[in-house]
Amino acid sequence: MPQSDAPDLLLRVGLSGGIGSGKSTVSQTLADRGAVVIDADLLAREVVEPGTPGLAAIAQRFGDDILTPEGALDRAALGRVVFGDPAARTDLEGITHPLIAERTRELIAAAPAHSIVVHDVPLLVEVGYAPRYHLVIIVGASRETRLRRLTDLRGMTGAEAEQRIDAQATDVQRRAVADVWLDNEGTVDELRAATERLYAERLVPFLTHLVQGLGVPTHEVPGPEEMVRLEARLGYVLGEDLDGALELDPGTDSLLVPLAPGVPADAMRERLARAGFPAVGEGRHASADPGRPVVLTLREHTVGGDG
């Protein structure tokens, strides 16, 4: 995806967590601080409101039985149609996903320059979106805690709550993509305070560095889990210009990034800067995220043996 799509720099944050984890508190707190929150669930409802092309397309594909007498989407009826019918589900998603993506792009484009844009996506892990963001925040709580909240506070039966939880990604999968894990086993106030600290101590400095093009040089090297996240993120950002696996270089305390044949390091400069790794020297980039210190050394492909 061309990075030059975005005329102004934004800090793009992905927010997710299992159902009942407390994601709403985090997105609300970030919005209160001034972040632009884009709520994927809300958009999913908007694109099928009465009178929308989305609802018309669904009625055309699935028949008027999925409409209420008032002409709104009958979610339960549609649910019965697509439940256990993968082809029907694929058709439905083929209608809704592009509409949601289009609205998301519009909202991102409308965000003021230098905003912190938080994309609240319940199924972020399931759809593999993590590498698209500068930073991924996951709100976490144990299965027992989430079951209790869903039954006590959100009116679900125990069986319903279990079914919803089991249909989602596991905590192991969520932890793998989490740049930040916000634990929500305590009180709502504690979660709010942790979110405010994250905003002030990491998101704002990250945005500032991004806008100023400042990488933070370091001698720290990423641990194994961080390496996996960096691989995924740089794979997304560089696409086929990346040629092979990242390697730690103990000599320079940096991560070697092998470029494909014919790709000069200089050509990656702007793309990496926008992705959160501004240049700090010839072929060297450093993370703008104060919470993820890493230096990248771009390695141009040289043809061995021909001098």
Interface residue list for ligand ADP (CB under 6 A): 17, 19-25, 149, 153-154, 184, 186-188, 191
d(CA 274, CA 209): 11
Nearer to ligand ADP, 31 or 260 (CB): 31
Nearer to ligand ADP, 181 or 236 (CB): 181
Nearer to ligand ADP, 23 or 209 (CB): 23
Task: Tell the smallest beta-carbon distance from residue 46 to ligand ADP (Å).
Answer: 18
The answer to whether the CB of 253 falls within 8 A of the CB of 221 is yes
Q: What are phi and psi of 137, to 5 degrees?
A: -110, 130
Nearer to ligand ADP, 96 or 184 (CB): 184
Nearer to ligand ADP, 22 or 278 (CB): 22
Task: Tell the smallest beta-carbon distance from residue 254 to ligand ADP (Å).
Answer: 37
The DSSP annotation for 60-100 comes to HHH-GGGB-TTSSB-HHHHHHHHTT-HHHHHHHHHHHHHHH
The secondary structure of the chain in percent helix, strand, coil, rounded to multiples of 5, reads 50, 15, 35
Task: Tell the smallest beta-carbon distance from residue 193 to ligand ADP (Å).
Answer: 11
Task: Tell the smallest beta-carbon distance from residue 120 to ligand ADP (Å).
Answer: 8
Nearer to ligand ADP, 19 or 82 (CB): 19
Task: Tell the smallest beta-carbon distance from residue 153 to ligand ADP (Å).
Answer: 3
Residue 76 tokens, joined: 């339960």
Task: Tell the smallest beta-carbon distance from residue 201 to ligand ADP (Å).
Answer: 21
Q: Are strands 295-299 and 254-258 parallel, antiparallel or unpaired?
A: parallel
Nearer to ligand ADP, 191 or 272 (CB): 191
Residue 296 tokens, joined: 């990248």
d(CA 239, CA 255): 17
Task: Tell the smallest beta-carbon distance from residue 93 to ligand ADP (Å).
Answer: 21
Strands in 295-299's sheet, in edge-to-edge order, are: 247-249, 254-258, 295-299, 284-286, 279-281
d(CA 135, CA 128): 14
